[in-house]
Amino acid sequence: MTQRTQFDRAYVTGVEVSAPQPEGTPFVNFPDRRLQVQGPTGPIDLLAIRPFSEDGSYAAGDVVVYAGGIYAANSSVAPGAFNPTDWTSLVADIFAPIVDTFGWNFTLGYTGEDVTEVLSSNGASQVRQTIGYDADGNAETVLYETSTDSGSNWTTLGTLTITYDADGNALSGAWT
């Protein structure tokens, strides 16, 4: 017989996966935008950084993404509008132009079989990601640029440099 796993869910802020649930039971808290699974000893968060929600509540140190930036709560934060004084910026909002491209048209540029450019556009606004590869064919750098004049002038947001282990597994990334 086929066994179905159903989601445990909550519509109230601050609720976690309810015990006892079988290990592996998925859980979603809609107002907190929290996604968890029941682990062997308790709930495990599946999203390292969750999107900020006006309906959510946050403990000191909780990390959220908001308007392209990444923030940590200074103390407990009750449901309500995002208030910058409640949060410490961990990563500036330089990513806002990239985050905001969801739903835009995009084209891919190739060199051989490798994607070397992703160009997202929405009218005159554009975001370009140029990907560089190492000798082993691993994506080594990604240059992020924006343009507000259909690509005549580009502003560099930063470059992500990715490091790999001897087996070609990505280990880390650093922004410059």
Query: What is the arithmetic mean of pLDDT over 159-163?
Result: 82
Contacts of 83 (CB under 8 A, 6+ apart): 77
Quick one: CATH architecture of 50-91?
Ribbon (2.10)
pLDDT of residue 158: 85
Residue with tokens 């922004």: 175
Contacts of 5 (CB under 8 A, 6+ apart): 24, 25, 26
Q: Over the stretch 48-90, which tens digit does the pLDDT of each residue have?
A: 678 888 988 888 888 887 876 778 889 999 999 999 999 987 7
Task: Please state the domain extents for the chain.
Answer: 1-47, 50-91, 99-175
Query: What is the arithmetic mean of pLDDT over 1-12?
Result: 66
Are the C-beta atoms of 84 and 97 separated by less than 8 Å? no
